[in-house]
Amino acid sequence: MHYDEIKQIKIHKNKLCNTNQTDDIILFDHELIEILINFIDEHILNETQRDKLIEDEVLYGLLCLLTSIVKQYNNLYIKQIYINNNQLYKQLTFNLIDRVFKYLFELPTSENRLVPKYKSLLTHAKSYEFLNELIKVNRENFIQLQKKLLEQHNSIDRQQPYIWDYWPRDDGRSYSGYVGLTNLGATCYASTSLQHLYMIPELRTTILNTTKGDKHDLILYELKRMFAYLLESERRSYNPKSFCKVYTMDGLQLNTGDQKDMTEFFTDSIKKLEEMSDDLKQLVRDLFCGILTNIVISFDCPHISRKLEEFYTVRCQVTDMKDVHESLAELTVKDTLEGDNMYTCSKCSKKV
**Hey, where are the domains in the chain?**
2-151, 180-288, 290-351
CA distance 274 to 269: 9
Alpha-helical regions (H) of the chain: 2-18, 22-42, 57-75, 78-82, 87-105, 121-134, 139-151, 188-198, 201-209, 217-232, 241-246, 262-276, 278-288, 324-331
Amino acid in the structure at residue 130? F
- How many angstroms separate the CA atoms of 352 and 343, rounded? 6
pLDDT in tens, 142-167: 999 999 888 877 655 444 444 555 55
Q: Which range scores top for mean pLDDT: 18-32, 68-82, 231-245?
A: 231-245
Q: Where are the alpha helices (DSSP H) in 111-187?
A: 121-134, 139-151
pLDDT in tens, 180-193: 999 999 999 999 99
Mean pLDDT of 306-313: 84
pLDDT score recorded for residue 170: 57
Q: Is the separation of the CB atoms in 224 and 208 below 8 Å?
A: yes
52 Cβ neighbours under 8 A, 6+ residues apart: 119, 120, 121, 172, 175
Q: Mean pLDDT over residues 304-326, rounded? A: 85
pLDDT value at 57 more than 50? yes
**Percentage of the residues of the chain whose pLDDT score is greater than 90:** 28
What length is written for the chain? Answer: 352
Range with the largest mean pLDDT of 16-20, 29-33, 158-162, 281-285? 281-285
The vertex-241 CA angle with 237 and 246, nearest 5°, equals 135
Q: What is the pLDDT of residue 15?
A: 47
The 10s digit of each residue's pLDDT in 234-273 is 778 899 999 999 999 988 999 999 989 998 999 999 999 9
Q: Find the mean pLDDT for residues 166-176.
A: 63
Give the strand pairing for 248-249 and 252-253. antiparallel
